[in-house]
Amino acid sequence: AQSVAQPEDQVNVAEGNPLTVKCTYSVSGNPYLFWYVQYPNRGLQFLLKYITGDNLVKGSYGFEAEFNKSQTSFHLKKPSALVSDSALYFCAVRPANDYKLSFGAGTTVTVRA
């Protein structure tokens, strides 16, 4: 069975500093990896995905994520965080041959001005 771990419940950074949200996964076969963001009282919004190809993928709002197969990780990064990036972030994984996504528990990001 597949699973996702987001080891940090909360990440706090100052505006303008780099932001990293960690994610590790376990899945049989090739992984399809996703990051979603949830703003207060809203549904989840897709940020980016890794399917195949370059290990560094770029997504919405200046976010990027690096796939590391040997470490089974897919960390989300942003070079310079904004206060508006404060939200709940979810990592998700599925095997290439199954459409059911498994989500991590989520990481709350707070960016202080």
List of residues contacting another protein (CB under 8 A)? 4, 9, 32, 34, 36, 41-46, 49, 51, 90, 94, 99-101, 103-106
In the complex with another protein, the residue whose CB is nearer, 70 or 99, is 99
Measured distance CA(24)–CA(26) in Å, rounded: 7
In the complex with another protein, the residue whose CB is nearer, 19 or 106, is 106
CA distances to 22, 28, 37, 70 from 89, rounded to whole Å, are: 10, 24, 5, 23
Cα 70 from chain centre: 18
Nearest approach, Cβ of 85 to another protein (angstroms)? 19
Nearest approach, Cβ of 36 to another protein (angstroms)? 8
Nearest approach, Cβ of 2 to another protein (angstroms)? 11
Residues 41, 26 contacting (CB under 8 angstroms): no
